Amino acid sequence: MEYALPVDAAVSALREIERLIARQNLRVNVPIEVRCAPADD
């Protein structure tokens, strides 16, 4: 699954993902990856 969001939102989004994983006691067996790319025209 892949999402696009502004780079300014990356840190807060990752923190929320961490909280969700901890709150639901999930076992994540794949890496969570962050990539940055220039905006499209």
* More confident position, 1 or 8: 8
3-state helix, strand, coil in the chain (%, to 5): 40, 0, 60
Whether the predicted pLDDT of 41 surpasses 80: no
Task: Please state the pTM of the whole predicted model.
Answer: 0.76
- Over residues 2-40, the pLDDT tens digits come to 888 999 999 999 999 999 999 999 999 999 999 988 888
pLDDT of residue 16: 97
For residue 25, the model assigns a pLDDT of: 98
Written as six digits, the tokens of 5 are 């969001």
